[in-house]
Amino acid sequence: MTGTERRAVVVEDDDDIRQLITHSLGMQGFAVAVASNGREAIDLVTSTDPDLVTLDLGLPDLDGIEVCRRVRETSQAYIIMISARTEEIDRLMGLETGADDYLTKPFSPRELQVRVNALLRRPRTSWDPTAGATGPIPVVVPNGANGTHVVAGSGTADTNGHDVHATHTGRGPRSGDPDPVVRHGLLAVDTESRTVTVHDTEVELTRTEFDLLTTMLAAPRRVWSRAVLLDTLWGAGWSSEEHLVEVHVGNLRRKLTRAAPAGTRPLIRTVRGVGYRMEEPDAQ
């Protein structure tokens, strides 16, 4: 295995489905390790530190929800739950436990590959603290009224061929600061170490929750619609999956609120009928 090779753990007790997923991920360049039960899966995740975990809910020993919860205690790998359960409550429980996506059986290898690619497209570049007062925040942000999205500061051009950069809000680091920390009221986000603190209390976030937070912080006064957040983090063609955004934003808001002093307004506000935005710091 090379140092740059992506790793995946496939957790599935059905031999045929396990082989199907393994082959599909192998075609995408993953080095795949497999587990047929929950305890083996937890050990594999700990020992291999994968980028991706596909997790069946109906395992012979531990329930997939419990496996997901334990994996989340030690890993920030993307988790795609795969199950024959089609009820909405099962999807919501999986997402609330820390899964990034939920795929129902039967599924095609192509659908799995598309969902994996959507997760892996999310930007991971750290914000360069030496960029100065006008330095870009390296997250995907909307570019004007045409609804296109780019990675801010990446040199990516918009549809008119213009280079696009996000505007510094004054809350993040300036030239000479030792750490790339974005501040918003009680909230501090280190985009380099991917750590989040609220009122000096560290908050453990999943990759999806962290990506949602940094995306919204790129324009904290903007109202982010569910559709835009879905398109930004999951990619185009997911308009029917807005529940993904609702569940992950709900989880993120609860975690931030628990770490804040009693009586503090939620750091993420729901704008009815529209979407979400960051709460104004001086209103807390």
In the DSSP assignment, the letter for residue 201 is E
Backbone torsions φ then ψ of 47, nearest 5 degrees: -85, -25
- Residues 219, 236 within the same domain: yes
Q: Are residues 241 and 163 in the same domain?
A: yes
Note the pLDDT of residue 234: 77
User: How far apart are alpha carbons 73 and 232 in whole angstroms?
Assistant: 26
Query: Given this model, what pLDDT does residue 63 score?
Result: 86
At residue 192, φ and ψ (nearest 5 deg) are -85, -50
pLDDT at 192: 84
| Burial class of residue 140 in the structure, from the number of CB atoms within 10 Å of its CB (0-12 exposed, 13-18 middle, 19+ buried) | buried
Asked if residue 255 belongs to a domain, the reply is yes
How far is the C-alpha of 164 from the C-alpha of 137, rounded, in Å? 11
pLDDT of residue 253: 92
> What spatial distance separates the first Cα and last Cα of the chain, rounded to whole Å?
49
Q: What is the reported pLDDT for 167?
A: 33
For residues 70 and 94, state if they share a domain. Answer: yes
275 occurs within a structural domain: yes
CATH number at residue 56: 3.40.50.2300
Same domain, 87 and 135: no
Domain boundary among the residues 65, 100, 120 is at: 120
**Is 77 a domain residue?**
yes
Q: What is the pTM of this model?
A: 0.57
pLDDT of residue 112: 93
Give yes or no: residues 95 and 218 share one domain: no
| End-of-domain residue from the set 65, 87, 120 | 120
Q: Are 80 and 94 in contact (CB under 8 A)?
A: no
In a domain, 264, yes or no: yes
pLDDT of residue 245: 87
d(CA 166, CA 156): 12
Supply the pLDDT for residue 83. Answer: 85
Q: Token pair for residue 283?
A: 């209103």
Q: Based on the fold, state whether residues 102 and 143 are members of the same structural domain.
A: no
Tell me what pLDDT residue 152 has.
Answer: 35
Domain assignment of residue 170, given as a range: 129-283
CATH number at residue 235: 1.10.10.10
Q: Are both 31 and 148 inside the same structural domain?
A: no
Q: Are both 279 and 173 inside the same structural domain?
A: yes
Are residues 137 and 248 located together in one domain of the fold?
yes
Reading the chain (284 residues) residue by residue, the pLDDT tens digits are 445 689 999 999 999 999 999 999 999 999 999 999 999 999 999 999 999 999 998 898 988 889 998 998 889 899 999 988 767 777 777 788 888 888 888 889 999 998 898 888 765 433 333 333 333 333 333 333 333 333 333 333 333 333 333 333 333 444 454 457 899 999 999 988 889 999 989 998 888 889 899 999 989 999 999 988 988 887 766 666 787 788 889 889 999 999 999 888 899 999 988 899 999 875 44
If asked whether residues 46 and 73 sit together in one domain, one would say yes
Domain for residue 1, yes or no? no
Q: Are strands 181-184 and 187-190 parallel, antiparallel or unpaired?
A: antiparallel
Residues 6+ apart with CB under 8 A from 5: 29, 30, 31
Could you tell me if 59 and 12 lie in one domain? Answer: yes
Whether 88 and 160 share a structural domain? no
Q: How many domains does the chain have?
A: 2
Among the candidates 69, 98, 120, a domain finishes at 120
